[in-house]
Amino acid sequence: MNTLQVIDLVHTYNDNRSAVQVLKGVNAEFEPGKIYAIVGESGSGKTTLISLISALDRVQQGDIRYGDKSIKEIGETTFRLKYVNIVFQAFNLIKYMSARENVEVTLDFSGYGKDGKARAYELLEHVGIAREAANRLVQRLSGGEQQRVAIARAMAGNVPIVVADEPTGNLDEDTTEKVLQLFRELADAGKIVIIVTHSRKVAKEANATLLRMKNGLLLAAADDKH
Ligand SMILES: Nc1ncnc2c1ncn2[C@@H]1O[C@H](COP(=O)(O)OP(=O)(O)O)[C@@H](O)[C@H]1O
Ligand SMILES: [Mg+2]
């Protein structure tokens, strides 16, 4: 069972002459089959952390490991493409393609094989995108629908880690519930699921292990009160 390990991660942003250390030695271990919710004040470093975990930004100090390999040994590009799927608002959806094509591209890329088209429709139906909407250009879908297409893509990708930044940020309650259900399915399929959210309700409903970013550190937050 391969876990994702974050080890003594330190990250500093340099703006002109001032340097701000956002991560001050973050340690964590993420297990397959579980959902983790990272909460914390705005500006506490949540996006920075998951950008590093998804290899969108480069590790400065410390390490990120999957199984027995460092992200540096695996290679950042390989890691980003083959190990992790990122669910940001409509991040990395291809706007001039239909929803179905977006999902199919990911299936192709992960070596799914022949019936990619049928499987893409199936995955989209799974996230509540019916055939008509599936055939529409992604840019003609609502924010909530695009969000679900992004999740269908995460399900199509044959990768062990799924990372989401405020995935339910501007979704209504019904859609939020549906999306959380999908994250649960991803975890049940054995993936490591990490969600950044400011909503305790979301963390609770996802039955997630709660972690809090505070003062540059990531802390277990199971017992804190707000
Ligand atoms: N590219 C960047 N350059 C300089 N400062 C940044 C950059 N990205 C984020 N920051 C700063 O780092 C801190 C943490 O940001 P972020 O990780 O986005 O926090 P969160 O997602 O918890 O709101 C904030 O003070 C933010 O202004
Ligand atoms: Mg953020």
Nearest in space to 131 (alpha carbons), one of 155, 139, 104, 123: 123
Question: Does the beta carbon of 212 sit less than 6 angstroms from any atom of ligand 1?
Answer: no
Residue with tokens 């609770």: 204
**Taking the mean position of all CA atoms in its chain, how far away is CA 28?**
16
Q: Of the bound ligands, which one is closest to the alpha carbon of residue 213?
A: 1
Question: Does the beta carbon of 216 sit less than 6 angstroms from any atom of ligand 1?
Answer: no
pLDDT in tens, 85-143: 888 755 678 889 999 999 999 898 888 888 999 999 999 998 889 999 999 999 999 88
pTM above 0.85, yes or no: yes
Question: Does the beta carbon of 116 sit less than 6 angstroms from any atom of ligand 1?
Answer: no
At residue 226 the predicted structure's pLDDT band, cuts being 50, 70 and 90, is very low
